[in-house]
Structure 1
Amino acid sequence: MRRLWRILASNGDLRLLLAANLISLTGDWILRTGLAYQVYVLTGSTLASAGSVLASLLPQIALGSVAGVYADRWDRRRTMVVTNLLMVVALLPLLAVQHAGQVWLVYLVIAVHSCLAPFFTSAEAALVPSLVSDDHLVTVNSLNGQARDVARLVGAALGGVIAAIGGIALLSLADMMTFALAAGLLWRIRTRPRSGSAMRPHVLREWVDGMRIGVSSRVLRVFLAFTVITGIGEAIMGTLIAPFVHDVLGGDARAFGVIMAAQAVGGIVGGLIATLVGHHFTPRAMFGWGTLAFGALDLVLFLYPLATHALWPAPVLIALVGLPAAFLTAGGMTVFQNATTDDHRGRVFGAMAAVNGAAMLLGTIAAGTLGERIGILPVLAAQGAAYCLAGLVVLLALPIPPPMQRQRPRHEAATA
């Protein structure tokens, strides 16, 4: 705990970045949860709800790599600020949505946000290693992951309440406020690790370069394979968890809410543990063993109904999954950051984000198709087994690194 407070107390820019992420992501979950409910209320159509998923995934696939190119060229702090402000403007059409005939405006806003989001995420992923020393990266990535889990828990709860009180208009106003506040915090970051290039980027060439770098290193190839597996797995989980609770466990909407809350709470607790003790482990170990444990717990979660239809093990198990999830997230991001340099980190991350979007699209289609043909449990169990396999690949394919040496933040070393 002292280590954590020492890192935060000595780094004002890091505090600003974490606070901005927490606020902005809370707004994202408010809007995402509320819109999912409101679109179904307006249309009464599950197909319309699926349309919102496609509207969010397709731009990510198309623009993820391109955004990474510009994240390497532009001032990253300024990129994040401008992206947040553009998202405020992009939400304005939602104020006009009143009936089902205007649901296309919802799709339009979701699509625009999905076009802007990769610019923010690529810039953030590239900026973090410039703010802290190498031996603090695991701790900071764990803390960032915990902020995402807190935002998910708080935002999802607020999204339902706000949607019930004021509908889509109030949802959009709440999200606008979070984006504007986040932009203000990001603007106060003083560190300028790189000013960006004044040259006009050759987008196609640098896009290809990002993809080439992503497959040229053994570490990045492993990370790429992991991204594909987890993207498909995340989509399968998101698509089939509600049918799993309703059809397999016999639970109602209240039971589903309890299980989802348990997942978020487990993520928060896991993130706190990873933040406090993660620096004692190598990123490779956190990445590999975290993935393996995640898959094993998933298998127990989705196969225990073969022995009993009791509901109580589900929230307990899904909460326990939060611990290895926090370790694999922090370890995986640190492995990626250490395997890339400041000059190309943004475009490689963008390429990975595009691959992740394509994998999620594939996983969504596979879950919807195979879930009806072969059943919910076999598909979910295959997802857990795939995570176990991914963990073994990470542990066997990634080299064991030498002991980590304490280093100054990169921007300090560059100016020394």
Structure 2
Amino acid sequence: MTSLRQGRAATLMVIAALLVSTVGDEVAMVALALRGADRTGLTSVVSAQMLAGLVPGIALGGPIGRIVDRFRPDAVLGVTLALECLVAAAAAAVADGAVLLIATMLLLGALGAVAQTCVMALVPQLFPASAAQLRVNSLMESVRNAGYIVGPLLVGLLTARGGTGLALAADAGTFAFALLAVPVISRWLIVTARERARTADVCDAVAAGADDAVASGSQPPGKTEGGLRVGLALLWAGAQRRATLATIVVTVAATSVVNVLLPFFADDIPGGTAVYGVLLATWSVGLVLGPFTLRGRLGRRPTSVVSVGAATVVGLSYLVTGAYPVVPLMLAAFLCGGMANAVQNVALRTYVMADCPADVRGRVGAAYGATLQSSVAVGFALAGLAPAEGARWGILAGGGVAFLAGLIGWLRTRAVAPSPVPAKDVSVTAGQGSERGTP
């Protein structure tokens, strides 16, 4: 009973820290962008800031993965949050020029990528069962998305009262608060390690098989071997993994094109920018609500199929928006699209975690982040080729490509999905997931 209470306390603390740190991430991004626009008056500086926050997760995936695999992820997370706190506090005091503003965004982007990789590695350690991972990932997704709503609102209030300096100082405080969760996580990791040690005797046969595998030369990579290359190789291993991730890469790139074009589409819709703001808020509401749909029958389906199906719905929502720019229909499409977006994130993250070996979680998590961020960057770059006056056609094209790619991918993942595990064998495979990505 004590162990159960500790687990619940750890979960609540982690969720609270995640909410606060997500608010902090949003506060930093919006406040730094506002300061860049105010102090320099150059759109190129703000654009460079946005790219600086995105690039580290792609370029530094290898080192980040090796660091998380080599050291305890809870310790790495603690150091990362402390550094984020210091960077935000320093930015509040001295980040005025273009170079410092871009450098600050670069540092926070790199530290944020490390923190996300730590979370990817910690969740399977704290919650070994795949069903528990799905529940926790769903809850974290809703909490994270709520932070995306609260963050910009908080920036507006703080900036109105004390400028961007006050907002960045509050941002430093959010990371300091999130640090309080690290000791709780560390204690719970010790508890789970002890519980696994008590049941180690039932795994003698498996351990013997593992020894034979090591003796035959098929041992896993070391804690620092290969970096991003190893992470990508494991991430994309197996026909089902390749079918799932290839679909997600295409749909994310296509919908990222749409995200860039939507502001230009605002002038063509009834109500203009006011309705555009309502649409964005509706999508955010969908992001918060979406994970709760995984508590029913949807949550019992293979996570690979669910993630691809959700990506298909996202593409369809944009396709409907471009084809029929009628306010009630667009609101319904954006609500469904936001919910599907959140479901896609939860299902895909759980799918990647489900059968990832413990000693390579950092590298696989970094490869996962780099893959998705690369897809977003490709979409942003492609959007720059579309003319502003043709925004509606670009949205139709992006939504159509995402919908068709998702539909084809959904059929493909259903075809390669493994057969359900018989009821009598469920206890043997608990915690491994019903859909292994490796052959």
Same fold (TM over 0.5): yes
Deviation at 1:24, TM superposition (A): 0.4
With over 3 angstroms needed to count, the CA separation of the structure-2 counterparts of 1:238 and 1:186, relative to structure 1, is: farther
Distance (Å, rounded) in 1 between the aligned partners of 2:347 and 2:332: 24
Question: Is residue 156 of structure 2 the alignment partner of residue 138 of structure 1?
Answer: no
Deviation at 1:108, TM superposition (A): 0.9
Deviation at 1:204, TM superposition (A): 6.1
Deviates more, 1:274-283 or 1:57-66: 274-283
In structure 2, the residue matched to 1:379 is 394
Q: Answer yes or no: is the 8 Å Cα contact 2:247–2:308 preserved in 1.
A: no
Deviation at 1:272, TM superposition (A): 2.7
Amino acid at match of 1:136: A
Q: C-alpha offsets along residues 310-347 of structure 1, whole Å, 9 cap, x if unaligned?
A: 44433332122122223222211121112422121220
Q: CA RMSD in A?
A: 2.7
SS of the equivalent of 2:358 reads: coil
Amino acid at match of 1:65: G
Distance (Å, rounded) in 1 between the aligned partners of 2:250 and 2:259: 14
Question: Is residue 282 of structure 2 the alignment partner of residue 262 of structure 1?
Answer: yes
Q: C-alpha offsets along residues 206-244 of structure 1, whole Å, 9 cap, x if unaligned?
A: 332222223332233234324422442453243222112
Aligned residue among 165, 175, 179 for 2:171: 175
Q: Answer yes or no: is the 8 Å Cα contact 2:142–2:287 preserved in 1.
A: yes
SS of the equivalent of 2:243 reads: helix
Q: Answer yes or no: is the 8 Å Cα contact 2:315–2:400 preserved in 1.
A: yes
Distance (Å, rounded) in 2 between the aligned partners of 1:240 and 1:97: 34
With over 3 angstroms needed to count, the CA separation of the structure-2 counterparts of 1:293 and 1:234, relative to structure 1, is: closer
Deviates more, 1:47-56 or 1:283-292: 283-292
Question: Is residue 264 of structure 2 the alignment partner of residue 243 of structure 1?
Answer: yes
Distance (Å, rounded) in 1 between the aligned partners of 2:270 and 2:36: 25
With over 3 angstroms needed to count, the CA separation of the structure-2 counterparts of 1:50 and 1:256, relative to structure 1, is: same
Distance (Å, rounded) in 1 between the aligned partners of 2:407 and 2:67: 32
With over 3 angstroms needed to count, the CA separation of the structure-2 counterparts of 1:281 and 1:202, relative to structure 1, is: closer
Amino acid at match of 2:238: S
How do 1:216-365 residues align onto structure 2 when only pairs under 5 Å count? 216-245=237-266, 247-249=267-269, 251-275=271-295, 278-305=298-325, 310-365=326-381
With over 3 angstroms needed to count, the CA separation of the structure-2 counterparts of 1:63 and 1:227, relative to structure 1, is: farther
In structure 1, the residue matched to 2:209 is none
Q: C-alpha offsets along residues 57-98 of structure 1, whole Å, 9 cap, x if unaligned?
A: 222211123211221221111111111111011123322358
Aligned residue among 25, 29, 33 for 1:32: 29
Distance (Å, rounded) in 2 between the aligned partners of 1:336 and 1:98: 38
Flag the structure with larger Rg. Answer: 2
Aligned residue among 56, 59, 63 for 2:60: 63
Distance (Å, rounded) in 2 between the aligned partners of 1:82 and 1:98: 22
With over 3 angstroms needed to count, the CA separation of the structure-2 counterparts of 1:98 and 1:143, relative to structure 1, is: closer
With over 3 angstroms needed to count, the CA separation of the structure-2 counterparts of 1:154 and 1:275, relative to structure 1, is: farther
Deviation at 1:299, TM superposition (A): 0.9
With over 3 angstroms needed to count, the CA separation of the structure-2 counterparts of 1:234 and 1:298, relative to structure 1, is: closer
Deviation at 1:125, TM superposition (A): 0.8
In structure 2, the residue matched to 1:198 is none
Deviation at 1:257, TM superposition (A): 2.5
Question: Higher relative contact order at CA 8 Å, sep ≥6: structure 1 or structure 2?
Answer: 1
Deviation at 1:382, TM superposition (A): 2.6
Q: C-alpha offsets along residues 351-392 of structure 1, whole Å, 9 cap, x if unaligned?
A: 1222222222221121122244x8212222232223321353
Question: Is residue 111 of structure 2 the alignment partner of residue 111 of structure 1?
Answer: no
Question: Is residue 35 of structure 2 the alignment partner of residue 43 of structure 1?
Answer: no
Amino acid at match of 1:383: G
With over 3 angstroms needed to count, the CA separation of the structure-2 counterparts of 1:131 and 1:61, relative to structure 1, is: same
Deviation at 1:150, TM superposition (A): 0.7
In structure 2, the residue matched to 1:207 is 228
Could you list the runs of 5+ residues in structure 1 that have no partner in the other structure? 1-6, 196-200, 411-416
With over 3 angstroms needed to count, the CA separation of the structure-2 counterparts of 1:8 and 1:137, relative to structure 1, is: farther
Q: Answer yes or no: is the 8 Å Cα contact 1:20–1:186 preserved in 2.
A: no
Deviation at 1:277, TM superposition (A): 5.6
With over 3 angstroms needed to count, the CA separation of the structure-2 counterparts of 1:42 and 1:314, relative to structure 1, is: farther
Amino acid at match of 1:261: A
Distance (Å, rounded) in 1 between the aligned partners of 2:254 and 2:31: 24
Distance (Å, rounded) in 2 between the aligned partners of 1:9 and 1:263: 35
Q: Answer yes or no: is the 8 Å Cα contact 1:163–1:171 preserved in 2.
A: yes
Amino acid at match of 1:71: V
Deviates more, 1:328-337 or 1:400-409: 400-409
Aligned residue among 82, 92, 95 for 2:92: 95
In structure 1, the residue matched to 2:199 is none
Question: Is residue 420 of structure 2 the alignment partner of residue 402 of structure 1?
Answer: yes
With over 3 angstroms needed to count, the CA separation of the structure-2 counterparts of 1:165 and 1:369, relative to structure 1, is: farther
SS of the equivalent of 1:208 reads: helix
SS of the equivalent of 1:369 reads: coil
Identity over aligned pairs, percent = 24
SS of the equivalent of 1:141 reads: helix
Amino acid at match of 1:109: T
Distance (Å, rounded) in 2 between the aligned partners of 1:167 and 1:161: 9
With over 3 angstroms needed to count, the CA separation of the structure-2 counterparts of 1:317 and 1:66, relative to structure 1, is: same
Q: C-alpha offsets along residues 131-173 of structure 1, whole Å, 9 cap, x if unaligned?
A: 2222222222111111111111111221222223222211211
Amino acid at match of 2:250: I
